[in-house]
Amino acid sequence: MKNGKVLGLCAYISLFLTAVCKFLGMFLEGSTVLTCLDTIGDLFLIITVGLAAFPFQKNTKHIAWKVIYWVVIILALSGSIGRLVTIFTK
């Protein structure tokens, strides 16, 4: 699968899950299933933005942009995965 198709698929999944979770969240406040789906949507959003930003950090000459990119990606993914772990260990 080409990078553009992966990016589009991740964006579509993220948008779909976010829309469903935000809409259903009006009626099912505090639902574990909704929180889980929302977190999965966040993971796809992080992947989408990470893939879109990767060429920028790759082509930049300053090492600071590369370091910032990887630190932010790792922090975002760790936070979302940590949120999933806390959901399943309740």
Domain count for the chain, please give it: 1
Q: Which residues of the chain have pLDDT under 50?
A: none
pLDDT tens string 40-53: 999 999 999 999 99
Report pLDDT for 16: 93
Its domain, for residue 37, covers 3-88
What separation, in Å, do the N-terminal and C-terminal C-alpha atoms of the chain show? 37
Report pLDDT for 1: 63
The Cα–Cα gap between 30 and 9 comes to 28
